[in-house]
């Protein structure tokens, strides 16, 4: 698993995410790292996008942003934290976060993942 799963994983079942995601390419990892640098240089870049979300979606979106801003380099921990953030969210909130994820991908130049 990679940090890319955080924004690009497509969770089809409780524990299927790790198996559903392809192994990230070196190019994907570099784009992710560059996006993380962009976010760390301008931590408010996602504020407008997060503000558009419902109250229920804002909290997990902020947690994802904070995870991206963290210095966590352990891919397994990064992945597990991303999964934990999504745990227990309603389908509506997950759908809303999926749309937000697409905006984050564009803003930070992250690699496109599975739909």
* Residue 40 domain boundaries: 4-108
User: Which band of pLDDT confidence, cut at 50, 70 and 90, is reported for residue 110?
Assistant: confident
Burial class (CB in 10 A: 0-12, 13-18, 19+), 108: buried
The answer to whether position 51 is within a domain reads yes
Owner of token pair 């994820």: 101
23-41: pLDDT as tens digits: 778 888 888 889 999 999 9
Q: Is the pLDDT of residue 115 over 50?
A: no
Burial class (CB in 10 A: 0-12, 13-18, 19+), 114: exposed
The answer to whether position 113 is within a domain reads no
Query: How many domains does the chain divide into?
Result: 1
CA distances from 62 to 18, 42, 49 (A): 23, 15, 10
């Amino acid at each position: 698993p990679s940090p890319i799963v955080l924004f690009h994983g497509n969770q089809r079942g409780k524990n299927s995410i790790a198996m559903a995601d392809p192994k990230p390419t070196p190019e994907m990892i570099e784009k992710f790292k560059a996006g993380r640098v962009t976010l760390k240089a301008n931590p408010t870049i996602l504020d407008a996008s997060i503000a558009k979300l419902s109250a229920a979606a804002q909290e997990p979106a902020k947690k994802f942003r904070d995870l991206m801003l963290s210095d966590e380099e352990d891919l397994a921990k990064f992945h597990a934290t991303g999964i934990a953030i999504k745990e227990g969210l309603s389908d509506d909130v997950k759908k809303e976060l999926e749309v937000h994820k697409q905006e984050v991908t564009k803003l930070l130049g992250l690699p496109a993942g599975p739909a």
